[in-house]
């Protein structure tokens, strides 16, 4: 039986559990100003960002289709009625691309690998597929504003893009950052533990203390927050590797846990046990 992609899995779950779908009824889309005409949008799913230009609204990520009307209403409110022109997907997961079709943007931009994987998923609406893709970097110049999209090598998935609002010193990390939480590394869709860590180190070197950092999940943060996240990943991986070096098997390592220091990073999706099991699949260090 072929492996189902994450979008398909989540869609099947929503269809089989109507009560779960109803949770969207009380979701409120909130907009927090970050800079001139730039907003952080939250609701249910991955954090979004919206830039209002003289020509259009540019939206980063789309959450779920069931929230499209609420998202569009909020975009109308913050933009004085401008239309959604460009939608950028940071990666392929359903809580970031589920609303692609329902939001009806004029164009959808993503990395090449996102288009490849979504196209291979028969449950994903064809009208929500990216219309423009790129391989490494893409710069957008709209209404005097510059946005730079940068592909990061395999880490959370194999199609992750970070979005730089360069004139505002704001960075949208997508799911390259789960603020204050153990991250999800999708090994079935090209993810890499060591790649994730390397990419976080790369970004830390590029930003400054004043950069506002939007995580895929969690609260708005900054360079210090990204450094805390990086240290958590380094130290928990080191713990697991030390236990492996002592000859402990996976079951014993999970039973030992990571200690009190990291308990607050545990959450309902990526529990301590699941994070340890992810770390156990880290690629071996090259000689």
Domain boundaries, the chain: 28-234
pLDDT in tens, 238-251: 999 999 999 999 99
Sign of CA dihedral 168, 143, 71, 217: negative
Q: Read out DSSP for 93-143?
A: -HHHHTTHHHH--SEEEEEHHHHHHHHT-TTS-GGGS-SEEESSEEEEEET
pLDDT in tens, 37-54: 999 999 999 999 999 999
pLDDT in tens, 150-199: 999 999 999 999 999 999 999 999 999 999 999 999 999 999 999 999 99
Burial class (CB in 10 A: 0-12, 13-18, 19+), 286: exposed
As assigned by CATH, the class of the 28-234 domain is alpha beta
Q: What is the pLDDT of residue 2?
A: 46
Per-residue pLDDT band at 7 (split at 50, 70, 90): low
CA distances from 254 to 237, 241, 249, 283 (A): 13, 12, 9, 18
């Amino acid at each position: 039986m072929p492996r189902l992609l994450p979008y398909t899995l989540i869609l099947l779950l929503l269809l089989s559990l109507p009560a779960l779908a109803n949770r969207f009824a009380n979701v409120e889309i909130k907009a927090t100003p970050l800079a001139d005409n730039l907003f952080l949008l939250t609701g249910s799913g991955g954090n979004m960002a919206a830039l209002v230009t003289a020509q259009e609204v540019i939206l980063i990520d789309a959450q779920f289709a069931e929230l499209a009307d609420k998202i569009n209403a909020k975009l109308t409110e913050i933009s004085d009625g401008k239309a959604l022109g460009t939608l950028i997907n940071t990666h392929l997961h359903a809580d970031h691309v589920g609303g692609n079709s329902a939001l009806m943007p004029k164009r959808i931009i993503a990395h090449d690998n996102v288009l490849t994987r979504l196209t291979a998923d028969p449950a994903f609406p064809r009208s929500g597929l990216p219309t423009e893709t790129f391989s490494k970097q893409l710069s957008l110049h709209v209404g005097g504003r510059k946005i730079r999209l940068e592909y990061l090598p395999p880490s959370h998935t194999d199609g992750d893009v970070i979005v730089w609002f360069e004139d505002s010193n704001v960075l949208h990390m997508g799911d390259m950052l789960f603020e204050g939480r153990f991250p999800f590394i999708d090994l079935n869709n090209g993810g890499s533990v060591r790649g994730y860590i390397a990419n976080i180190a790369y970004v830390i070197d590029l930003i400054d203390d004043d950069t506002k950092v939007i995580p895929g999940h969690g609260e708005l943060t900054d360079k210090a927050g990204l450094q805390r996240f990086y240290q958590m990943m380094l130290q928990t991986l080191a713990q697991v590797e030390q236990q492996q070096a002592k000859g402990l098997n996976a079951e014993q390592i999970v039973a030992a846990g990571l200690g009190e220091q990291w308990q607050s990073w545990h959450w309902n999706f990526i529990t301590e046990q699941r994070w340890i099991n992810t770390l156990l699949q880290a690629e071996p260090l090259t000689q």
